[in-house]
Structure 1
Amino acid sequence: MVEDFNNLPEGCIANILSFTSPRDACRLALVSSTFRSAAESDAVWDRFLPSDLDTLFFRSFSLSLPSKKHLYLHLCQKPLLIDHGQKSFQLDKVNGKKCYMLSARALSIVWGDTPRYWRWTSFPDARFSEVAELVSVCWLEIRGRINTGVLSPETLYGAYLVFKPNPGGTYGFDYQSVEVSIEIAGGETSKRTVFLDADRGRRLRFQIVPRLAGIFNGPRFLATVEPPPVENNNSSNNNNNNSHDLQYPKERGDGWLEVELGEFFNNGEDDKEVEMGVNETKNGDWKGGLFVQGIEIRPKTVQP
């Protein structure tokens, strides 16, 4: 069978490979020298790149790379800053789907320009030139917006708040949850409760509690046990809101933390605005000590 394919013109093989995936093209390049030559061609990798890539480069700057494959790999490994450095664009390395991150400057942050509550500073390993430092607020409200028209169609997306705790410490988040939401214009709104304290999830996994000694049990001792369910005060929400669904931050490959705000499916039929929110406005306690880099929107891996 392979020999029959090798007898085909290279352009024909390249056209066939262009209907596969980036991962499949790389695997098929190992079949033979003919396949390798076809799999390296611009005709194949041009199909894997977004059709509006020229527009994205216009919003950023041009890249001089030897081939379309090199361009694809570059966009998978290194985010492209666009819109005056306030957003970034990247490709998912597995399927080539579009990924965006909205910088803190591209978000709507209540009192974000008031130094008493928020400061703007640089961070060595941040993607953008500025991040927002939460000094101290009692009203936490962050919102970001993106249009589905710029995203890949027929794709399930997740939105994630990307942040870091201040090395000097955080306060007000250890026992206080925040409400996060995803709202599609003219569609549904999903809400859930999350914690921004990464250590809380680890503390709740195992707690040290006293065990009472009985008459014949000898002295008291301490043991690690599973904690009781955490009571959720936001019972009015109707999505992902029981204690077992509470989300906690996870460390990313770049060293920052992220917590999922929700998910939405982009069918690609209509261009709709998606609004993502992070709120804690009900409790009234003061909180601070976070660096907010932005909100990332990327494809989710669908489990079989």
Structure 2
Amino acid sequence: MGANTSLLTQESSTHPTKLNLGDIPESCVALVLSNLDPPEVCKLARLNRAFRAASSADFIWDAKLPSNYHYMVNEHVTNISSTKLGKHEIYGRLTRPVRFDDGNKEFWLDKRTGGVCLSISSKALTITGIDDRRYWNFIPTDESRFHTIAYLQQIWWVEVEGDIDFRFPTGTYSLLFKLRLGRSTKRPGWWGPNNENENVHGWDKKPVQFQLTTSDGQQANSKCFLEDTGSWEYHHVGDFAGRDSNISTKIKFSLTQIDCTHTKGGLSVDLVLICPSNLIKDFRALLL
């Protein structure tokens, strides 16, 4: 492509019959752009006026938007209507996080693939003992996209549950808990000693169990020992299928360690992530 581009942009004084990029019909440019990923479309839109105009064609973005984007915009995005914006404008807006349920849940489109991702804050979870500061505390931190995590001091019975009701576009999705053994040290105004791992104990006795169920009968279970201290990790609970983008699916999920023969402590719970299964590696890479 680089060689062809070079030929097109050569001075017309030496090759008067040569075309430059600005002479390519806008419809042809749009057809080429329709076969590219959104980031590539946006890069080429900066080449010149013809590419910029072609990149706004609705048919380019139709295939890149979720089939139920009208629902996402009309139900969750304030001050705009899916019928009054161009498709490229809607795509751009939905790649930015859209908060709902009192700001404790959010969804967004992956910029590269258009896949729908969701996250649920620790404040939207039902946590046994959360109202007793001897056991759990909500801690402000810059490490979380919600700026708050739930931190376990010590308890015998660990039970964290949550749910979300959403119209998932057709596809396979994965649900993950974002956890860390140790207290967050990136807290606003915190200048104390680095004692992030002082309360970590009890996780080597029995594995943590994860579970998810869906309103249309799908189930998944997994278990693992929490071992790595001092770093955030995404723990894969399981997968489920989005079968009908026009029907809402309720997902229930949980994290438990209910062996009462010993206490557990030092666990940080940030959020629960739901994303297309092919994007798991991308999210895990962000933590490296």
TM-score normalized by structure 2? 0.67
- Name the counterpart of 2:127: 109
Which ranges in structure 1 are unaligned for 5 or more consecutive residues?
200-248
Cα distance in 1 between the residues matched to 2:216 and 2:261: 31
Matching of residue 22 in structure 1 with residue 38 in structure 2:
yes
Matches within 5 A, 1:80-99: 80-99=98-117
Query: Judging changes above 3 Å, is the alpha-carbon distance between structure 1 residues 80 and 284 closer, same or farther for their aligned structure 2 residues?
Result: farther
Matching of residue 154 in structure 1 with residue 170 in structure 2:
yes
Cα distance in 2 between the residues matched to 1:157 and 1:282: 30
Cα distance in 2 between the residues matched to 1:272 and 1:82: 16
How far did residue 96 of structure 1 move? 1.2
- Which of 118, 121, 141 in structure 2 is aligned with 1:123? 141
- Name the counterpart of 1:259: 235
Matches within 5 A, 1:33-182: 34-40=50-56, 44-45=60-61, 48-49=64-65, 50-51=69-70, 52-58=72-78, 72=91, 76=95, 79-149=97-167, 151=168, 153-164=169-180, 165-166=182-183, 167-169=196-198, 170-182=200-212
Query: Judging changes above 3 Å, is the alpha-carbon distance between structure 1 residues 154 and 31 closer, same or farther for their aligned structure 2 residues?
Result: farther
Aligned residues: 239
Considering only aligned residues, what root-mean-square deviation do their CA atoms show, in Å?
Answer: 3.7
- Which of 246, 268, 285 in structure 1 is aligned with 2:262? 285
TM-score normalized by structure 1? 0.64
| 1:36-93 deviations in Å (ceiling 9; x for gaps) | 43125577457645332243223xx77xxxx9757745754x5343332211222212
Query: Judging changes above 3 Å, is the alpha-carbon distance between structure 1 residues 97 and 109 closer, same or farther for their aligned structure 2 residues?
Result: same
Q: Is the 8 A contact 1:171 1:287 kept in 2?
A: yes
How far did residue 297 of structure 1 move? 0.8
How far did residue 279 of structure 1 move? 0.9
- Name the counterpart of 2:248: 271
Q: Aligned to 2:203, what secondary structure does the other structure show?
A: coil
Q: Is the 8 A contact 2:98 2:106 kept in 1?
A: yes
Matches within 5 A, 1:207-218: none
Q: Aligned to 1:192, what secondary structure does the other structure show?
A: strand
| 1:259-282 deviations in Å (ceiling 9; x for gaps) | 111111111254221111111113
Q: Aligned to 2:50, what secondary structure does the other structure show?
A: helix
Cα distance in 2 between the residues matched to 1:159 and 1:142: 14
Cα distance in 2 between the residues matched to 1:130 and 1:302: 24
Query: Judging changes above 3 Å, is the alpha-carbon distance between structure 1 residues 116 and 259 closer, same or farther for their aligned structure 2 residues?
Result: same
Give the aligned residue type for 1:294.
L
Give the aligned residue type for 1:172.
G
- Name the counterpart of 2:213: 183
How far did residue 124 of structure 1 move? 2.4
Amino-acid identity (%): 27
Query: Judging changes above 3 Å, is the alpha-carbon distance between structure 1 residues 274 and 28 closer, same or farther for their aligned structure 2 residues?
Result: same
Give the aligned residue type for 1:289.
G
Cα distance in 1 between the residues matched to 2:251 and 2:265: 27
Give the aligned residue type for 2:170.
E
Q: Is the 8 A contact 2:211 2:238 kept in 1?
A: yes
| 1:123-152 deviations in Å (ceiling 9; x for gaps) | 122222432111111111111212241x3x
Which ranges in structure 2 are unaligned for 5 or more consecutive residues?
5-18, 81-85, 184-195, 281-288
Q: Is the 8 A contact 1:148 1:266 kept in 2?
A: no
Cα distance in 1 between the residues matched to 2:38 and 2:107: 18
Q: Is the 8 A contact 2:139 2:148 kept in 1?
A: yes
Give the aligned residue type for 2:75.
T
Q: Is the 8 A contact 2:206 2:259 kept in 1?
A: no
| 1:211-260 deviations in Å (ceiling 9; x for gaps) | xxxxxxxxxxxxxxxxxxxxxxxxxxxxxxxxxxxxxx9x6xxxx32211
